[in-house]
Structure 1
Amino acid sequence: MEVMQWIITTDEEGSRIDQFVTKQGEDWSRSMVQQWIKEGQVLVNNKTVKSNYKLNAEDEVEVSVPEAVEPDILPENIPLQVVYEDADVIVINKERGIVVHPAPGHYSGTLVNALMYHCNDLSGINGEKRPGIVHRIDKDTTGLLVAAKHDKAHEQLSRQLQDKSMKREYAAIVHGVVEHDKGTIDAPIGRDERDRQKMKVTQRNAKDAVTHFDVLERFAHYTYIHCELETGRTHQIRVHMKYINHVIAGDPKYGKKNTLPIDGQALHAHTLSFIHPMTQERMTFKAPLPEEMESLLESLRKIT
Protein backbone atom coordinates (compact mmCIF):
# COMPACT_ATOMS: atom_id res chain seq x y z
CA MET A 1 0.00 0.00 0.00
CA GLU A 2 1.39 3.39 -1.02
CA VAL A 3 1.06 6.32 1.40
CA MET A 4 0.97 9.84 -0.08
CA GLN A 5 1.06 13.12 1.86
CA TRP A 6 0.48 16.81 1.13
CA ILE A 7 0.42 20.06 3.11
CA ILE A 8 -2.34 22.42 2.01
CA THR A 9 -1.30 25.83 0.67
CA THR A 10 -3.28 29.05 0.89
CA ASP A 11 -4.26 28.62 -2.77
CA GLU A 12 -5.86 25.26 -1.97
CA GLU A 13 -7.63 26.44 1.17
CA GLY A 14 -11.40 26.02 1.01
CA SER A 15 -11.29 23.05 -1.38
CA ARG A 16 -13.33 19.96 -0.54
CA ILE A 17 -11.16 17.06 0.55
CA ASP A 18 -12.65 14.70 -2.05
CA GLN A 19 -12.04 17.18 -4.87
CA PHE A 20 -8.48 17.89 -3.74
CA VAL A 21 -7.49 14.23 -3.47
CA THR A 22 -9.09 13.33 -6.81
CA LYS A 23 -6.87 15.89 -8.58
CA GLN A 24 -3.71 14.34 -7.13
CA GLY A 25 -4.06 11.01 -8.92
CA GLU A 26 -3.88 10.66 -12.68
CA ASP A 27 -6.50 7.90 -12.74
CA TRP A 28 -8.42 8.55 -9.53
CA SER A 29 -12.16 9.11 -9.84
CA ARG A 30 -14.12 11.16 -7.34
CA SER A 31 -16.36 8.20 -6.44
CA MET A 32 -13.24 6.09 -5.78
CA VAL A 33 -11.78 8.77 -3.50
CA GLN A 34 -15.08 9.17 -1.64
CA GLN A 35 -15.05 5.42 -0.95
CA TRP A 36 -11.50 5.72 0.42
CA ILE A 37 -12.68 8.53 2.70
CA LYS A 38 -15.53 6.35 4.02
CA GLU A 39 -13.08 3.53 4.68
CA GLY A 40 -10.74 5.83 6.64
CA GLN A 41 -7.93 5.71 4.11
CA VAL A 42 -7.87 9.52 3.84
CA LEU A 43 -6.77 11.45 6.93
CA VAL A 44 -6.55 15.17 7.63
CA ASN A 45 -4.25 16.01 10.52
CA ASN A 46 -4.28 12.29 11.42
CA LYS A 47 -8.09 12.23 11.73
CA THR A 48 -10.83 10.84 9.52
CA VAL A 49 -13.10 13.38 7.83
CA LYS A 50 -16.19 13.44 5.63
CA SER A 51 -16.07 13.98 1.87
CA ASN A 52 -17.35 17.55 2.18
CA TYR A 53 -14.64 18.64 4.64
CA LYS A 54 -13.23 22.04 3.63
CA LEU A 55 -9.47 22.20 3.77
CA ASN A 56 -7.53 24.84 5.70
CA ALA A 57 -4.05 26.13 4.99
CA GLU A 58 -1.38 23.96 6.66
CA ASP A 59 -3.72 20.96 6.91
CA GLU A 60 -1.77 17.72 6.53
CA VAL A 61 -3.49 15.31 4.15
CA GLU A 62 -2.51 11.64 4.06
CA VAL A 63 -3.89 9.05 1.64
CA SER A 64 -3.26 5.32 1.93
CA VAL A 65 -3.71 4.16 -1.64
CA PRO A 66 -4.92 0.54 -1.75
CA GLU A 67 -3.23 -1.92 -4.07
CA ALA A 68 -5.13 -2.03 -7.35
CA VAL A 69 -6.77 -5.31 -8.22
CA GLU A 70 -6.60 -5.37 -11.99
CA PRO A 71 -8.77 -7.67 -14.09
CA ASP A 72 -7.40 -9.84 -16.88
CA ILE A 73 -7.24 -8.16 -20.27
CA LEU A 74 -9.42 -10.21 -22.63
CA PRO A 75 -9.93 -10.25 -26.40
CA GLU A 76 -13.14 -8.53 -27.53
CA ASN A 77 -14.85 -8.61 -30.90
CA ILE A 78 -14.75 -4.85 -31.53
CA PRO A 79 -14.77 -3.68 -35.18
CA LEU A 80 -11.51 -2.17 -36.38
CA GLN A 81 -10.79 0.07 -39.36
CA VAL A 82 -7.71 -1.75 -40.62
CA VAL A 83 -5.75 0.39 -43.08
CA TYR A 84 -2.87 -2.06 -43.56
CA GLU A 85 -1.82 -5.40 -42.10
CA ASP A 86 0.91 -7.97 -42.66
CA ALA A 87 2.78 -10.50 -40.51
CA ASP A 88 4.74 -7.76 -38.72
CA VAL A 89 2.56 -4.66 -38.26
CA ILE A 90 -1.02 -3.48 -38.32
CA VAL A 91 -2.13 0.09 -39.03
CA ILE A 92 -5.48 1.20 -37.59
CA ASN A 93 -7.66 4.25 -38.24
CA LYS A 94 -9.01 4.73 -34.70
CA GLU A 95 -12.52 6.03 -34.16
CA ARG A 96 -13.43 8.69 -31.61
CA GLY A 97 -14.24 7.41 -28.12
CA ILE A 98 -11.94 4.39 -28.08
CA VAL A 99 -9.20 4.22 -25.44
CA VAL A 100 -5.98 2.79 -26.86
CA HIS A 101 -4.89 0.59 -23.95
CA PRO A 102 -6.43 -0.60 -20.66
CA ALA A 103 -6.11 1.65 -17.61
CA PRO A 104 -8.11 2.12 -14.40
CA GLY A 105 -11.72 2.59 -15.43
CA HIS A 106 -11.09 1.26 -18.94
CA TYR A 107 -10.29 -2.44 -18.82
CA SER A 108 -12.60 -3.36 -21.68
CA GLY A 109 -13.66 -1.79 -24.96
CA THR A 110 -10.11 -0.62 -25.71
CA LEU A 111 -8.09 -0.87 -28.89
CA VAL A 112 -5.91 -3.49 -27.18
CA ASN A 113 -8.97 -5.67 -26.49
CA ALA A 114 -9.89 -5.37 -30.17
CA LEU A 115 -6.34 -6.11 -31.39
CA MET A 116 -6.11 -9.20 -29.15
CA TYR A 117 -9.23 -10.57 -30.83
CA HIS A 118 -8.14 -9.60 -34.35
CA CYS A 119 -4.51 -10.73 -34.20
CA ASN A 120 -3.09 -14.11 -33.28
CA ASP A 121 -0.14 -12.51 -31.55
CA LEU A 122 1.17 -9.09 -30.52
CA SER A 123 4.51 -7.85 -29.21
CA GLY A 124 4.99 -8.06 -25.45
CA ILE A 125 7.53 -5.28 -24.93
CA ASN A 126 5.05 -2.88 -23.32
CA GLY A 127 3.66 -5.52 -20.95
CA GLU A 128 0.43 -7.45 -20.79
CA LYS A 129 -1.77 -4.34 -20.68
CA ARG A 130 -0.26 -2.72 -23.78
CA PRO A 131 0.54 -5.61 -26.13
CA GLY A 132 1.56 -4.36 -29.55
CA ILE A 133 1.19 -0.68 -28.65
CA VAL A 134 4.10 1.39 -29.97
CA HIS A 135 2.50 4.84 -29.62
CA ARG A 136 -0.95 6.09 -28.74
CA ILE A 137 -3.50 8.78 -29.49
CA ASP A 138 -6.05 10.13 -27.04
CA LYS A 139 -9.50 8.61 -26.55
CA ASP A 140 -11.34 11.35 -28.44
CA THR A 141 -8.66 11.94 -31.07
CA THR A 142 -9.27 10.07 -34.31
CA GLY A 143 -6.81 8.71 -36.80
CA LEU A 144 -3.83 6.51 -37.52
CA LEU A 145 -1.57 4.45 -35.31
CA VAL A 146 0.60 1.40 -35.85
CA ALA A 147 0.85 -1.68 -33.62
CA ALA A 148 3.58 -4.33 -33.68
CA LYS A 149 2.89 -8.05 -33.99
CA HIS A 150 6.21 -9.21 -32.53
CA ASP A 151 9.04 -7.83 -30.41
CA LYS A 152 11.52 -7.27 -33.25
CA ALA A 153 8.99 -5.09 -35.09
CA HIS A 154 8.22 -3.26 -31.86
CA GLU A 155 11.88 -2.52 -31.19
CA GLN A 156 12.39 -1.17 -34.71
CA LEU A 157 9.30 1.06 -34.59
CA SER A 158 10.16 2.35 -31.11
CA ARG A 159 13.62 3.29 -32.36
CA GLN A 160 12.00 5.30 -35.16
CA LEU A 161 9.96 7.22 -32.61
CA GLN A 162 13.15 8.04 -30.74
CA ASP A 163 15.21 9.06 -33.76
CA LYS A 164 12.21 10.93 -35.27
CA SER A 165 12.15 8.95 -38.51
CA MET A 166 8.52 8.04 -37.83
CA LYS A 167 6.36 10.93 -39.04
CA ARG A 168 2.96 11.78 -37.53
CA GLU A 169 0.82 14.57 -38.93
CA TYR A 170 -2.48 15.90 -37.60
CA ALA A 171 -5.32 18.17 -38.65
CA ALA A 172 -6.96 20.36 -36.02
CA ILE A 173 -9.49 23.15 -35.67
CA VAL A 174 -8.50 25.69 -33.02
CA HIS A 175 -10.13 28.67 -31.35
CA GLY A 176 -9.17 32.10 -32.59
CA VAL A 177 -7.51 33.33 -35.77
CA VAL A 178 -3.87 32.22 -35.91
CA GLU A 179 -1.91 35.16 -37.32
CA HIS A 180 1.25 33.40 -38.50
CA ASP A 181 1.03 31.11 -41.54
CA LYS A 182 3.40 28.64 -39.90
CA GLY A 183 5.33 28.24 -36.68
CA THR A 184 7.11 25.94 -34.24
CA ILE A 185 6.20 25.50 -30.58
CA ASP A 186 9.26 24.37 -28.65
CA ALA A 187 8.14 24.16 -25.03
CA PRO A 188 8.71 21.35 -22.47
CA ILE A 189 5.69 19.45 -21.15
CA GLY A 190 5.19 17.88 -17.72
CA ARG A 191 2.45 16.86 -15.35
CA ASP A 192 0.23 19.67 -14.02
CA GLU A 193 0.89 19.69 -10.27
CA ARG A 194 -2.55 21.13 -9.51
CA ASP A 195 -4.44 18.62 -11.63
CA ARG A 196 -2.62 15.33 -12.14
CA GLN A 197 -4.95 14.38 -14.99
CA LYS A 198 -3.60 17.25 -17.08
CA MET A 199 -0.29 18.14 -18.66
CA LYS A 200 1.13 21.66 -19.06
CA VAL A 201 4.09 23.62 -20.37
CA THR A 202 6.49 23.74 -17.44
CA GLN A 203 10.17 23.53 -16.57
CA ARG A 204 9.57 21.20 -13.61
CA ASN A 205 9.86 17.44 -14.23
CA ALA A 206 9.24 18.09 -17.92
CA LYS A 207 10.42 16.61 -21.21
CA ASP A 208 11.28 18.45 -24.41
CA ALA A 209 8.31 18.84 -26.75
CA VAL A 210 8.28 20.30 -30.28
CA THR A 211 5.23 20.82 -32.51
CA HIS A 212 5.31 22.37 -36.00
CA PHE A 213 2.14 23.89 -37.44
CA ASP A 214 0.86 25.42 -40.69
CA VAL A 215 -2.37 27.34 -41.22
CA LEU A 216 -4.65 25.68 -43.77
CA GLU A 217 -7.71 27.92 -43.54
CA ARG A 218 -8.93 30.83 -41.43
CA PHE A 219 -12.50 31.51 -40.33
CA ALA A 220 -14.18 34.28 -38.35
CA HIS A 221 -13.33 32.83 -34.93
CA TYR A 222 -11.46 29.60 -35.68
CA THR A 223 -8.47 28.34 -37.67
CA TYR A 224 -7.92 25.03 -39.44
CA ILE A 225 -4.30 23.93 -39.02
CA HIS A 226 -1.90 21.12 -39.90
CA CYS A 227 0.49 19.91 -37.17
CA GLU A 228 3.54 17.68 -37.29
CA LEU A 229 4.99 16.14 -34.15
CA GLU A 230 8.74 16.14 -33.62
CA THR A 231 8.26 14.56 -30.18
CA GLY A 232 5.37 12.56 -28.76
CA ARG A 233 4.44 13.78 -25.29
CA THR A 234 1.09 13.06 -23.66
CA HIS A 235 -1.56 15.50 -24.97
CA GLN A 236 1.25 17.37 -26.80
CA ILE A 237 -0.72 19.20 -29.50
CA ARG A 238 -3.58 19.97 -27.10
CA VAL A 239 -1.19 21.43 -24.50
CA HIS A 240 0.91 23.35 -27.02
CA MET A 241 -2.10 24.97 -28.69
CA LYS A 242 -3.43 26.01 -25.29
CA TYR A 243 0.02 27.46 -24.53
CA ILE A 244 -0.22 29.82 -27.53
CA ASN A 245 -3.85 30.70 -26.67
CA HIS A 246 -5.42 28.72 -29.53
CA VAL A 247 -7.02 25.78 -27.75
CA ILE A 248 -8.40 22.97 -29.88
CA ALA A 249 -12.11 23.27 -30.58
CA GLY A 250 -14.21 20.91 -28.50
CA ASP A 251 -11.35 19.95 -26.17
CA PRO A 252 -13.08 19.00 -22.89
CA LYS A 253 -9.90 18.97 -20.81
CA TYR A 254 -7.92 21.99 -21.99
CA GLY A 255 -10.44 24.03 -23.94
CA LYS A 256 -13.27 26.43 -23.53
CA LYS A 257 -16.93 25.48 -23.13
CA ASN A 258 -17.82 23.59 -26.29
CA THR A 259 -20.26 25.51 -28.48
CA LEU A 260 -19.53 23.51 -31.64
CA PRO A 261 -21.33 20.36 -32.88
CA ILE A 262 -18.45 18.00 -32.11
CA ASP A 263 -18.13 15.48 -29.28
CA GLY A 264 -14.52 15.86 -28.16
CA GLN A 265 -11.49 17.67 -29.56
CA ALA A 266 -11.32 18.45 -33.29
CA LEU A 267 -8.02 16.63 -33.74
CA HIS A 268 -7.28 13.92 -36.31
CA ALA A 269 -4.09 11.96 -37.00
CA HIS A 270 -4.32 11.98 -40.78
CA THR A 271 -0.85 10.84 -41.91
CA LEU A 272 1.51 8.21 -40.53
CA SER A 273 4.83 7.35 -42.14
CA PHE A 274 7.43 4.83 -40.97
CA ILE A 275 10.08 2.45 -42.27
CA HIS A 276 8.75 -1.09 -42.33
CA PRO A 277 10.65 -2.95 -39.58
CA MET A 278 11.43 -5.97 -41.78
CA THR A 279 11.51 -4.82 -45.43
CA GLN A 280 13.05 -1.41 -44.59
CA GLU A 281 10.70 0.27 -47.08
CA ARG A 282 9.24 3.69 -46.25
CA MET A 283 5.46 3.30 -45.88
CA THR A 284 3.03 6.22 -45.73
CA PHE A 285 -0.65 6.00 -44.82
CA LYS A 286 -3.36 8.65 -44.91
CA ALA A 287 -6.79 8.72 -43.28
CA PRO A 288 -9.42 11.22 -44.48
CA LEU A 289 -11.01 13.57 -41.98
CA PRO A 290 -13.87 11.96 -40.07
CA GLU A 291 -17.30 13.07 -41.23
CA GLU A 292 -17.81 15.03 -38.00
CA MET A 293 -14.80 17.27 -38.68
CA GLU A 294 -15.68 17.69 -42.36
CA SER A 295 -19.17 18.84 -41.39
CA LEU A 296 -17.72 21.25 -38.85
CA LEU A 297 -15.43 22.80 -41.46
CA GLU A 298 -18.35 23.22 -43.87
CA SER A 299 -20.41 24.98 -41.21
CA LEU A 300 -17.50 27.31 -40.37
CA ARG A 301 -17.03 28.22 -44.03
CA LYS A 302 -20.65 29.39 -44.21
CA ILE A 303 -20.24 31.93 -41.38
CA THR A 304 -16.94 33.52 -42.42
Structure 2
Amino acid sequence: MSLHDFYYDLPQELIAQDPLEDRSSSRLLVLDRETGNTEHHIFREIINYLNPGDCLVVNNTKVIPARLIGNKVGTDAKIEVLLLKRNADDVWETLVKPGKKAKPGTKISFGDGLLVGEVVDVVEDGNRMIKFTYDGIFEEILDQLGQMPLPPYITHQLKDKNRYQTVYAKHDGSAAAPTAGLHFTPELLQAIKDKGVNIAHVTLHVGLGTFRPVKVENIKEHHMHSEFYMVEEDQAKLINETKTKGGRIIAVGTTSCRTLESATGEDGILKAGSGWTEIFIYPGYQFKLIDCLITNFHLPESTLMMLVSALAGRDKIMAAYKEAVEMKYRFFSFGDAMFIK
Protein backbone atom coordinates (compact mmCIF):
# COMPACT_ATOMS: atom_id res chain seq x y z
CA MET A 1 0.00 0.00 0.00
CA SER A 2 1.55 3.29 -1.05
CA LEU A 3 1.52 6.76 0.45
CA HIS A 4 -0.36 8.26 -2.49
CA ASP A 5 -3.33 5.95 -1.76
CA PHE A 6 -4.12 8.31 1.13
CA TYR A 7 -3.96 11.58 -0.79
CA TYR A 8 -6.97 13.85 -1.32
CA ASP A 9 -7.26 17.38 -2.61
CA LEU A 10 -8.13 19.97 0.04
CA PRO A 11 -8.81 23.64 -0.75
CA GLN A 12 -6.81 25.86 1.62
CA GLU A 13 -9.92 27.78 2.72
CA LEU A 14 -11.40 24.64 4.33
CA ILE A 15 -8.62 24.49 6.96
CA ALA A 16 -10.29 25.82 10.12
CA GLN A 17 -8.26 28.67 11.59
CA ASP A 18 -10.34 29.40 14.69
CA PRO A 19 -12.42 27.35 17.11
CA LEU A 20 -16.18 27.85 16.98
CA GLU A 21 -17.82 29.89 19.75
CA ASP A 22 -19.83 26.84 20.86
CA ARG A 23 -17.69 23.68 20.87
CA SER A 24 -20.61 21.32 20.22
CA SER A 25 -22.04 23.24 17.25
CA SER A 26 -19.46 21.94 14.79
CA ARG A 27 -20.71 19.65 12.04
CA LEU A 28 -20.69 15.87 12.27
CA LEU A 29 -20.38 13.48 9.36
CA VAL A 30 -21.62 10.00 10.34
CA LEU A 31 -20.08 7.16 8.32
CA ASP A 32 -21.46 3.63 8.46
CA ARG A 33 -18.39 1.45 7.95
CA GLU A 34 -20.43 -1.53 6.79
CA THR A 35 -22.39 0.22 4.03
CA GLY A 36 -20.37 3.39 3.40
CA ASN A 37 -23.57 5.45 3.85
CA THR A 38 -23.15 8.94 5.28
CA GLU A 39 -25.38 11.30 7.26
CA HIS A 40 -24.83 14.93 8.22
CA HIS A 41 -25.55 16.39 11.64
CA ILE A 42 -24.47 18.91 14.29
CA PHE A 43 -21.92 17.48 16.73
CA ARG A 44 -24.17 17.60 19.81
CA GLU A 45 -26.49 15.16 17.99
CA ILE A 46 -23.80 12.49 18.55
CA ILE A 47 -25.87 11.58 21.61
CA ASN A 48 -28.49 10.03 19.28
CA TYR A 49 -25.89 7.50 18.12
CA LEU A 50 -24.83 6.46 21.62
CA ASN A 51 -26.76 3.68 23.37
CA PRO A 52 -27.20 3.03 27.09
CA GLY A 53 -24.47 0.57 28.09
CA ASP A 54 -21.95 1.89 25.56
CA CYS A 55 -18.65 3.32 26.79
CA LEU A 56 -17.15 6.53 25.46
CA VAL A 57 -13.37 6.57 26.01
CA VAL A 58 -11.69 9.99 26.17
CA ASN A 59 -8.02 11.00 26.42
CA ASN A 60 -7.60 13.29 29.44
CA THR A 61 -4.12 14.51 28.57
CA LYS A 62 -3.49 18.25 28.92
CA VAL A 63 -1.54 20.30 26.40
CA ILE A 64 1.35 22.18 27.95
CA PRO A 65 2.27 25.65 26.60
CA ALA A 66 5.25 23.95 25.00
CA ARG A 67 6.39 26.67 22.58
CA LEU A 68 9.12 28.88 24.03
CA ILE A 69 10.74 31.88 22.34
CA GLY A 70 14.17 32.74 23.70
CA ASN A 71 17.51 34.31 22.91
CA LYS A 72 20.89 32.68 22.48
CA VAL A 73 23.14 33.74 25.32
CA GLY A 74 26.07 35.69 23.88
CA THR A 75 24.60 36.68 20.51
CA ASP A 76 20.97 37.45 21.44
CA ALA A 77 19.81 35.55 18.30
CA LYS A 78 16.16 34.53 18.48
CA ILE A 79 15.60 30.80 19.01
CA GLU A 80 12.30 28.92 19.18
CA VAL A 81 12.07 25.74 21.26
CA LEU A 82 9.23 23.24 21.23
CA LEU A 83 9.13 20.85 24.19
CA LEU A 84 8.41 17.30 23.03
CA LYS A 85 9.22 14.81 25.75
CA ARG A 86 10.22 15.18 29.38
CA ASN A 87 13.13 13.07 30.64
CA ALA A 88 14.74 12.95 34.11
CA ASP A 89 16.51 15.87 35.80
CA ASP A 90 14.78 18.71 33.89
CA VAL A 91 16.09 17.45 30.54
CA TRP A 92 13.62 17.65 27.64
CA GLU A 93 13.73 16.39 24.09
CA THR A 94 12.95 19.44 21.97
CA LEU A 95 12.59 20.70 18.45
CA VAL A 96 14.71 23.83 17.92
CA LYS A 97 14.44 26.47 15.18
CA PRO A 98 16.90 27.36 13.72
CA GLY A 99 18.70 24.15 14.66
CA LYS A 100 22.07 25.29 13.36
CA LYS A 101 22.28 27.88 16.14
CA ALA A 102 21.78 25.21 18.82
CA LYS A 103 24.94 23.11 19.01
CA PRO A 104 25.75 21.28 22.28
CA GLY A 105 26.88 23.83 24.86
CA THR A 106 24.56 26.55 23.52
CA LYS A 107 22.63 28.38 26.24
CA ILE A 108 19.21 29.90 25.58
CA SER A 109 17.56 32.43 27.88
CA PHE A 110 13.76 32.71 28.16
CA GLY A 111 11.91 35.54 29.90
CA ASP A 112 15.11 37.51 30.65
CA GLY A 113 16.71 34.56 32.41
CA LEU A 114 13.65 33.32 34.28
CA LEU A 115 14.33 30.04 32.50
CA VAL A 116 17.66 29.00 30.97
CA GLY A 117 18.20 25.99 28.74
CA GLU A 118 21.48 24.40 27.73
CA VAL A 119 21.73 22.10 24.70
CA VAL A 120 23.35 18.91 25.98
CA ASP A 121 22.94 16.57 23.00
CA VAL A 122 21.63 16.17 19.44
CA VAL A 123 19.47 13.09 18.89
CA GLU A 124 17.70 11.49 15.90
CA ASP A 125 15.91 13.79 13.44
CA GLY A 126 18.06 16.66 14.71
CA ASN A 127 16.05 17.05 17.93
CA ARG A 128 17.95 18.65 20.82
CA MET A 129 18.16 17.47 24.40
CA ILE A 130 17.99 20.60 26.57
CA LYS A 131 18.58 20.83 30.31
CA PHE A 132 16.63 23.62 31.99
CA THR A 133 17.58 25.59 35.09
CA TYR A 134 15.22 27.91 36.97
CA ASP A 135 14.08 29.04 40.42
CA GLY A 136 10.60 27.96 41.48
CA ILE A 137 8.15 25.54 39.88
CA PHE A 138 8.78 24.58 36.25
CA GLU A 139 5.07 24.28 35.33
CA GLU A 140 4.32 27.78 36.68
CA ILE A 141 7.22 29.30 34.75
CA LEU A 142 6.13 27.47 31.60
CA ASP A 143 2.59 28.74 32.05
CA GLN A 144 3.97 32.27 32.24
CA LEU A 145 6.41 32.08 29.31
CA GLY A 146 5.10 29.36 27.00
CA GLN A 147 2.64 29.54 24.13
CA MET A 148 0.25 26.85 22.93
CA PRO A 149 2.01 24.76 20.24
CA LEU A 150 -0.57 25.16 17.49
CA PRO A 151 0.00 23.16 14.29
CA PRO A 152 1.76 25.03 11.44
CA TYR A 153 -1.40 25.10 9.30
CA ILE A 154 -3.09 27.36 11.90
CA THR A 155 -1.86 30.86 11.20
CA HIS A 156 -4.26 32.80 13.46
CA GLN A 157 -3.37 33.68 17.04
CA LEU A 158 -5.38 31.77 19.63
CA LYS A 159 -7.21 34.26 21.86
CA ASP A 160 -8.01 31.82 24.65
CA LYS A 161 -5.48 29.09 25.58
CA ASN A 162 -8.28 26.89 26.90
CA ARG A 163 -9.79 26.47 23.45
CA TYR A 164 -6.90 24.16 22.57
CA GLN A 165 -7.74 21.99 25.61
CA THR A 166 -10.57 19.53 26.07
CA VAL A 167 -12.95 20.37 28.92
CA TYR A 168 -11.78 17.19 30.72
CA ALA A 169 -8.01 17.76 30.27
CA LYS A 170 -6.24 16.69 33.47
CA HIS A 171 -2.69 15.32 33.12
CA ASP A 172 -0.01 17.72 31.78
CA GLY A 173 2.21 16.36 29.01
CA SER A 174 0.99 16.82 25.44
CA ALA A 175 2.60 18.82 22.65
CA ALA A 176 -0.73 18.83 20.77
CA ALA A 177 -4.40 18.50 21.68
CA PRO A 178 -6.41 15.30 21.20
CA THR A 179 -8.65 17.34 18.92
CA ALA A 180 -11.67 15.03 18.58
CA GLY A 181 -12.40 15.82 22.23
CA LEU A 182 -12.55 19.57 21.62
CA HIS A 183 -16.19 19.25 20.49
CA PHE A 184 -17.50 18.13 23.89
CA THR A 185 -18.99 20.58 26.40
CA PRO A 186 -19.68 19.76 30.07
CA GLU A 187 -23.42 19.90 29.26
CA LEU A 188 -23.13 17.41 26.41
CA LEU A 189 -21.04 15.02 28.53
CA GLN A 190 -23.63 15.22 31.32
CA ALA A 191 -26.46 14.48 28.87
CA ILE A 192 -24.50 11.46 27.58
CA LYS A 193 -24.03 10.18 31.16
CA ASP A 194 -27.71 10.75 31.91
CA LYS A 195 -28.56 8.55 28.93
CA GLY A 196 -26.74 5.63 30.58
CA VAL A 197 -23.53 5.80 28.56
CA ASN A 198 -20.33 5.21 30.54
CA ILE A 199 -17.44 7.64 30.11
CA ALA A 200 -13.96 6.23 30.70
CA HIS A 201 -10.64 8.11 30.76
CA VAL A 202 -7.26 7.03 29.44
CA THR A 203 -4.14 9.16 29.03
CA LEU A 204 -1.85 9.42 26.02
CA HIS A 205 0.55 12.35 25.86
CA VAL A 206 0.44 13.40 22.23
CA GLY A 207 3.87 13.94 20.69
CA LEU A 208 4.50 15.61 17.37
CA GLY A 209 5.45 12.22 15.90
CA THR A 210 1.73 11.68 15.30
CA PHE A 211 1.79 14.57 12.83
CA ARG A 212 5.20 13.96 11.28
CA PRO A 213 4.85 13.65 7.51
CA VAL A 214 5.27 10.14 6.15
CA LYS A 215 8.34 10.31 3.91
CA VAL A 216 8.40 6.75 2.57
CA GLU A 217 6.33 5.64 -0.42
CA ASN A 218 5.81 2.17 1.10
CA ILE A 219 3.89 3.06 4.26
CA LYS A 220 4.99 -0.12 6.07
CA GLU A 221 8.49 1.36 6.26
CA HIS A 222 7.28 4.37 8.29
CA HIS A 223 8.36 4.40 11.95
CA MET A 224 6.15 6.03 14.60
CA HIS A 225 7.68 7.96 17.48
CA SER A 226 6.91 6.65 20.95
CA GLU A 227 4.30 8.32 23.15
CA PHE A 228 3.56 7.74 26.84
CA TYR A 229 0.20 6.24 27.81
CA MET A 230 -1.55 5.28 31.02
CA VAL A 231 -4.66 3.17 31.72
CA GLU A 232 -5.87 3.13 35.34
CA GLU A 233 -7.22 -0.03 36.97
CA ASP A 234 -10.80 1.21 37.50
CA GLN A 235 -11.02 2.53 33.94
CA ALA A 236 -9.79 -0.75 32.45
CA LYS A 237 -12.42 -2.57 34.54
CA LEU A 238 -15.20 -0.25 33.30
CA ILE A 239 -14.17 -0.71 29.65
CA ASN A 240 -13.80 -4.49 29.93
CA GLU A 241 -17.18 -4.82 31.69
CA THR A 242 -18.82 -2.77 28.92
CA LYS A 243 -17.43 -5.16 26.34
CA THR A 244 -18.50 -8.25 28.32
CA LYS A 245 -22.07 -6.91 28.59
CA GLY A 246 -22.27 -6.28 24.85
CA GLY A 247 -21.84 -2.49 24.92
CA ARG A 248 -19.74 -0.75 22.29
CA ILE A 249 -16.34 0.84 22.96
CA ILE A 250 -16.33 4.24 21.27
CA ALA A 251 -12.91 5.90 21.15
CA VAL A 252 -12.89 9.69 21.16
CA GLY A 253 -9.99 10.46 18.85
CA THR A 254 -7.14 8.53 17.32
CA THR A 255 -5.08 8.97 20.52
CA SER A 256 -7.68 7.14 22.66
CA CYS A 257 -7.91 4.50 19.93
CA ARG A 258 -4.14 3.97 19.86
CA THR A 259 -3.99 3.78 23.67
CA LEU A 260 -6.74 1.16 23.84
CA GLU A 261 -5.27 -0.92 21.02
CA SER A 262 -1.77 -0.71 22.57
CA ALA A 263 -2.91 -1.84 26.01
CA THR A 264 -5.25 -4.64 24.87
CA GLY A 265 -4.01 -8.22 24.69
CA GLU A 266 -4.73 -10.65 21.87
CA ASP A 267 -7.56 -11.96 24.09
CA GLY A 268 -9.36 -8.63 23.68
CA ILE A 269 -8.93 -7.69 27.35
CA LEU A 270 -7.64 -4.22 28.21
CA LYS A 271 -4.75 -4.27 30.69
CA ALA A 272 -4.22 -1.48 33.23
CA GLY A 273 -0.74 0.02 33.34
CA SER A 274 1.50 2.57 31.67
CA GLY A 275 4.24 2.54 29.09
CA TRP A 276 5.38 3.80 25.72
CA THR A 277 3.63 2.96 22.47
CA GLU A 278 4.79 3.14 18.87
CA ILE A 279 1.68 1.48 17.48
CA PHE A 280 1.09 2.27 13.80
CA ILE A 281 -2.39 1.35 12.61
CA TYR A 282 -2.93 1.07 8.85
CA PRO A 283 -5.24 -0.99 6.59
CA GLY A 284 -5.02 -4.69 7.35
CA TYR A 285 -4.85 -4.06 11.11
CA GLN A 286 -7.33 -6.15 13.13
CA PHE A 287 -8.87 -4.04 15.90
CA LYS A 288 -8.86 -5.80 19.25
CA LEU A 289 -11.12 -3.56 21.31
CA ILE A 290 -12.72 -0.51 19.73
CA ASP A 291 -16.01 -0.62 17.85
CA CYS A 292 -16.50 3.01 16.81
CA LEU A 293 -14.43 6.17 16.51
CA ILE A 294 -15.16 9.89 16.87
CA THR A 295 -12.44 11.82 15.02
CA ASN A 296 -11.64 15.02 13.16
CA PHE A 297 -10.69 15.26 9.48
CA HIS A 298 -7.00 14.53 8.96
CA LEU A 299 -4.18 15.70 6.71
CA PRO A 300 -3.72 13.95 3.36
CA GLU A 301 -1.11 11.15 3.42
CA SER A 302 -0.92 11.22 7.25
CA THR A 303 -0.71 8.24 9.61
CA LEU A 304 -4.11 9.34 10.95
CA MET A 305 -5.67 8.93 7.48
CA MET A 306 -4.23 5.41 7.52
CA LEU A 307 -5.72 4.69 10.94
CA VAL A 308 -9.27 5.73 9.97
CA SER A 309 -8.89 3.79 6.71
CA ALA A 310 -7.95 0.70 8.74
CA LEU A 311 -11.25 1.00 10.62
CA ALA A 312 -13.68 1.94 7.84
CA GLY A 313 -11.86 0.84 4.68
CA ARG A 314 -9.82 3.16 2.47
CA ASP A 315 -12.41 3.51 -0.30
CA LYS A 316 -15.20 4.44 2.12
CA ILE A 317 -12.97 6.99 3.88
CA MET A 318 -11.85 8.58 0.60
CA ALA A 319 -15.47 8.83 -0.59
CA ALA A 320 -16.56 10.39 2.73
CA TYR A 321 -13.69 12.92 2.60
CA LYS A 322 -14.61 13.84 -0.99
CA GLU A 323 -18.18 14.46 0.19
CA ALA A 324 -16.94 16.52 3.16
CA VAL A 325 -14.87 18.72 0.81
CA GLU A 326 -17.83 19.19 -1.54
CA MET A 327 -20.05 20.13 1.43
CA LYS A 328 -17.40 22.54 2.72
CA TYR A 329 -16.78 20.88 6.07
CA ARG A 330 -14.05 22.52 8.18
CA PHE A 331 -10.84 20.47 8.39
CA PHE A 332 -8.11 19.61 10.91
CA SER A 333 -7.64 20.64 14.57
CA PHE A 334 -10.36 23.28 14.92
CA GLY A 335 -12.54 21.70 12.25
CA ASP A 336 -15.59 19.46 12.16
CA ALA A 337 -15.92 15.83 13.25
CA MET A 338 -16.67 12.40 11.88
CA PHE A 339 -18.29 9.45 13.63
CA ILE A 340 -17.30 6.07 12.21
CA LYS A 341 -19.88 3.55 13.40
TM-score, L = length of structure 1? 0.26
TM-score, L = length of structure 2? 0.24
> Highest Rg: 1 or 2?
1
More helix by share: 2
